[in-house]
Structure 1
Amino acid sequence: MSSYLITRERFINAPASDIFEVLATPALHSVIDGSDTVQGEQPGGPQRLYQGAKFGMDMRIGAKYKTLNTVTEFEEGRRITWRHFTKATWSYLLEPRDGGTLVTEQWDARSVTGKVVLRPMGFLRKNPIAMEKTLAKLEDYVTKA
């Protein structure tokens, strides 16, 4: 297993359709972000994601910056992946189970050019923690909505 591929999962007591709706709505990404780097969506993007959609996010890691993402996989209610401008991908896989949904979040930086800087910048250490927080925030959002 590559240290540039990080996966976390959480069982959430909610239907996959409710969870997917949050993931497919860029305006909610800052609400569920466990890294505290996603500040909000950029104007002009889609309200709901779809295969091939491009959407921008306002970010902050020390300094403010913007990202442009492209949805590379989209299966309604089941799977969504977007590629970051660095070629890293964020994926969510939803598996309906009795009483809820198993949600798997994955960060894949194996295709990132210059990935050697990810370790000294702390991403390999911080991303697993942030992903666990994201899944907890996602659960809070969909179970209290």
Structure 2
Amino acid sequence: MTQDQKQITVTRTIDAPAKDIFALLSLPAKHTELDGSGMLRGSVDTERITKTGQVFVMNMHAEAMGGDYRMHNHVSAFDENKMIGWTPAQEENKTEPAGWEWLWELRPVDADTTEVTLTYDWSRVEDKQLLPLFPVVDEEQLQESLNRLAAAVSGS
């Protein structure tokens, strides 16, 4: 990764229909099972994501962020069974996302197989105190999230 790069994208083909994968991704209570970074501690909200503009809250932990904290995730992309994404806002400023986005894109290969792409994009982070922390999650951790998603959907 170069210094100028401000996003990481990973892709994996998963042996599951897009609708089954989307069902897991749209349920914040399941996100800790999918987290390859080890930062997620649990969902405060249990309702399914159904549209852009929704906000769901996650309990988090990262030493780089000072230990335990909460993120208010604003749903920025929602196209059922195709795409879901959110932009986190820190607890102290719940309504203003800080400039990074998590985006999951699903492309059916056939009825029972889906290509899943996960993008972690921090290109819109402008806070000069936050920017040096990026990327907080690396490519290997993102790949692990895809591995966990594949395991979770096969067990559902």
* Of 133, 136, 144, the match for 1:118: 133
Gap regions ≥5 residues in structure 2: 90-97
Give 1:20-39 correspondences, 5 Å limit: 20-39=22-41
Q: Find the aligned partners of 2:104 and 2:153 in 1 and give their Cα distance.
A: 15
1:76 corresponds to which residue?
A: 80
The CA deviation at 1:116 is 3.5
Instruction: Count residues in correspondence.
Output: 139
Give 1:1-145 correspondences, 5 Å limit: 2-42=4-44, 45=45, 47-49=47-49, 50-62=51-63, 63-85=67-89, 86-98=98-110, 99-113=112-126, 114=128, 116-119=131-134, 123=136, 126-145=137-156
Gap regions ≥5 residues in structure 1: none
Q: Normalising to structure 2: TM-score of the pair?
A: 0.83
Moved beyond 4 Å, runs of 4+: none
Q: Find the aligned partners of 1:46 and 1:70 in 2 and give their Cα distance.
A: 15
SS class of match (1:77): coil
Which amino acid in structure 1 is aligned with residue 99 of structure 2? K
SS class of match (1:104): strand
Q: Normalising to structure 1: TM-score of the pair?
A: 0.89
Q: Find the aligned partners of 1:104 and 1:112 in 2 and give their Cα distance.
A: 21
SS class of match (1:103): strand
> Identity of counterpart residues, as a percentage?
31
Which amino acid in structure 1 is aligned with residue 25 of structure 2? L
Q: Find the aligned partners of 2:141 and 2:123 in 1 and give their Cα distance.
A: 19
* 1:105-140 C-alpha deviation (Å, 9 max, x unpaired): 001100012354125xx62xx421110000000000
- Answer whether contact 2:40 2:61 (CA < 8 A) is retained: yes
Q: Find the aligned partners of 2:23 and 2:46 in 1 and give their Cα distance.
A: 13
